[in-house]
Structure 1
Amino acid sequence: MTPDGYRMPAEWEPHERTWMAFPTDNHTFHDNLHASRTAWAAVATTIARHEPVVMVANTGEGDDARGYLGPAVEVVERPLDDSWMRDIGPTFLVDGRGGLAAATWVFNGWGQLEFARWELDSQVGGLVAGMAGATPYASGLVNEGGGVHVDGEGTVLLTETVQLDPYRNPGWTRERVEAELRAFLGVRKAIWLPRGLTADYGPVGTRGHIDMFASFVRPGLVAAHCQPDPAHPDHEVCKENIALLRASTDAAGRRLEVVEVPAPTVLEVDGEPVDYSYINHYVANGAVVLCAFGDPRDAEAAELFARLFPGREVELVDARQIFAGGGGIHCITQQQPAVSAARQ
């Protein structure tokens, strides 16, 4: 349990740096390793224009990473199974007095997915916390960073199919999960959605990560994925989840306002449904790094996020290769908050 006073800041609060992990030759990337490394590098170098980025490369692959990244991104070598830093890395915490800590979750390959290997990735949270100089606090909850989203003022969004997954946390109840999140994230109110997007329940999915569907823009305001096509299975999922969000109040007692973000027009790739989502963006210092899909709605989404985050530059980065591996831009990034800003 973390000491009193620590909390997980909102993503839009100032960062010290961003952490990422470089694709290594595994089940996820074996057939498209070069394309995946190029996609990860495009995200990293975009963020590096706004804040420092540290890329963790698998042991012996640091020079490979530097060849893709150039001098703008720092590269360190540590053992890796996969490359989804949001999920394998720590969740950083601040106490407002200059202290930096990190919640390290139990990681078991997104609920023991058949393809996943996690012997090395299950140690990454502690390794990154150590490199950042953060005090680590180990939780007993099987969880990933993409499974929670906070407003920085005591409210967390999450889904039943992730935290209550019998392959993650058998026997856990909502109450037990909420108690763990109160202790480790400093939250006071949990808003539960029943499930995530349909394609996220496929062979390389996460079984419903919240960061594909909904994210706080500021306290009291949530951006939510909307599927306009009534023939798509996510159409009804989105309607139900958005209705639940609009009926919810946050830790301060505010009724949530919801901004609907239409999904890209592309519904499937190579005959398989996709969960392309603009919600899976990353808020960096002075910027919003937004998934692009070569889609007519990319520009519409960029304009919307520019209004939602005034004063930040919206950077569109092609995320199709990242989604082919099972995630998006948010899934491959993890923010380290700036403790000096947290003291203000």
Structure 2
Amino acid sequence: MGWRMPHEGDPHERTWMAFPSAGVTLGEGTAHQESGYRAWADTALAVAEFEPVTMLVDPTETDRARRMLGSAVEIVEAPVDEFWLRDSGPTFVVDDERPGVIGAVDWIFNGWGAPAWAEWQKAAQHARIVAGQVGAELVSSLLVNEGGGIHVDGEGTVLATETVQLDPNRNPLADRSRVEAEFARTIGAQKVVWLPRGLTADYEELGTNGHVDIVATIPSPGRLLLHSQQDAGHPDHAVTRELREHLARQTDAAGRSFEIIDLPAPAALRAGGEFVDYSYVNHLVVNGGVIACGFGEPEADARARGILEDAYPGRRVVTVDARPIFARGGGIHCITQQQPAVPSHSRFLSALRLAPLAQDPLTPAKGGPHV
């Protein structure tokens, strides 16, 4: 099988998300919880202006989800504990030799390294559930990985972080060569560009230990959008400067050096007394648009929209307040997962709207049993 992960800017059939449910990530207190529900709903409704959205919803939250999302978002009832679908859901791939076929990589998800606070046993089944709903071939993997831990150019280049895929709490026996071989098998990577680390706050208790999708992304082959912390009072000032120097020495799968475009952070340095990793890099590219993180700073948010409009010509950039999402450990890209459009795959759209979730979420998808 020649699986390849398409670029995020390629056409989508839909975006997948998961609705918040009670637990550590949602937090305590009515007002705080409501801010989480609202942020996830606002993101889904913004995406739905550009392409279909399907939301996994725990049965305990169905009434709330229907009330907040209305008819704009399709709902699939499924068990949900963690609701960061970029990480718990599948990474979609295509096979250029088999038009109309879509694959779903089922990484092992262990809650970002199995920290004591994480509730991830239900989320670990999301990739299989979504693959079954889509009719995708399941591509099983023994690598502990999350969708937020990689970014691709669609032409064989993947960005990854040493502190994520080589994390001993994720893959204690892995080394670079083994991870690179698995990326080649599952997503068609010919060149892995390794970042040595992620942003400072991402190593705190609710962090991912360095996800790349808050640091850098590839808006088009040969170009990088890189988070830039320009305030020397923030520890990421030194981090992002060092990452820029590192990435300036790297090349992609085609042998090109990267054109690096700085995407400055907003002015806010702290929230609740702790340093924040507010990043405009953590956006989602959709059909005809970009869903960007907003941080309540009109000038900085507008500056980021301008940079994103230049990076993605012809797309309309829409800002959604992402502060409640970042308060829980991530951003807009972290809670969404694009399903690429493939020829002749539209037949699954009507089936998706009608098909109930299988009673047993562990029932193998047609790609075979999980290994």
TM class by smaller structure: over 0.9
Q: Which amino acid aligns with 2:319?
A: L
1:60–1:77 CA contact under 8 A, matched in 2: no
Q: 1:306 aligned to 306, 309, 321, which one?
A: 309
| TM-score normalised over the length of structure 2 | 0.90
Partner of 2:358: none
Partner of 1:322: 325
Deviation of 1:61 (Å): 2.1
Q: 2:209 aligned to 163, 186, 207, which one?
A: 207
Q: Distance in 2 between matches of 1:140 and 1:95?
A: 21
User: Alpha-carbon deviations, 1:30-70, whole Å to 9, x = none?
Assistant: 32221111111100001101000001001232221111111
1:18–1:335 CA contact under 8 A, matched in 2: yes
Q: Distance in 1 between matches of 2:116 and 2:308?
A: 36
Partner of 2:365: none
Partner of 2:25: 28
Partner of 1:83: 83
Partner of 1:267: 269
Q: Which amino acid aligns with 2:41?
A: A
Partner of 2:342: 339
Q: Distance in 1 between matches of 2:91 and 2:173?
A: 24
Q: Which amino acid aligns with 2:21?
A: T
What does residue range 79-228 of structure 1 map to in structure 2 within 5 Å? Answer: 79-96=79-96, 97-228=99-230
Deviation of 1:341 (Å): 8.9
The secondary structure found in structure 2 opposite 1:60 is helix
2:234–2:275 CA contact under 8 A, matched in 1: no
Q: Distance in 2 between matches of 1:321 and 1:26?
A: 15
Q: Distance in 1 between matches of 2:215 and 2:87?
A: 16
Q: Distance in 2 between matches of 1:61 and 1:245?
A: 43
Asked if 1:231 is matched to 2:233, the reply is yes
Q: Which amino acid aligns with 2:323?
A: R
The secondary structure found in structure 1 opposite 2:159 is strand
Q: 1:297 aligned to 279, 296, 300, which one?
A: 300
Deviation of 1:227 (Å): 0.7
Q: Distance in 1 between matches of 2:157 and 2:19?
A: 31
Moved more, 140-149 or 53-62: 53-62
Partner of 2:41: 41
Partner of 1:241: 243
User: Alpha-carbon deviations, 1:158-202, whole Å to 9, x = none?
Assistant: 100000001000021001000000000001000001100000001
Q: Which amino acid aligns with 1:51?
A: E
Deviation of 1:301 (Å): 0.4
Q: Distance in 2 between matches of 1:121 and 1:218?
A: 31
Q: Distance in 2 between matches of 1:186 and 1:270?
A: 42
Q: Distance in 2 between matches of 1:270 and 1:204?
A: 14
User: Alpha-carbon deviations, 1:81-124, whole Å to 9, x = none?
Assistant: 11100000000011131110111000011001221011111111
Q: Which amino acid aligns with 2:184?
A: R
Q: Distance in 1 between matches of 2:263 and 2:209?
A: 21
Q: Aligned-pair RMSD on alpha carbons?
A: 1.1
| TM-score normalised over the length of structure 1 | 0.97
Moved more, 12-21 or 290-299: 290-299
- Matched length: 339
Q: Distance in 2 between matches of 1:214 and 1:110?
A: 19
Q: Distance in 1 between matches of 2:196 and 2:233?
A: 21
Asked if 1:288 is matched to 2:285, the reply is no
Deviation of 1:288 (Å): 0.4
Partner of 1:66: 66
Q: Which amino acid aligns with 1:65?
A: A
Moved more, 333-342 or 246-255: 333-342
Deviation of 1:257 (Å): 0.8
Q: State percent identity of aligned pairs.
A: 54
2:161–2:210 CA contact under 8 A, matched in 1: yes
Q: Distance in 2 between matches of 1:281 and 1:167?
A: 27
1:14–1:341 CA contact under 8 A, matched in 2: no
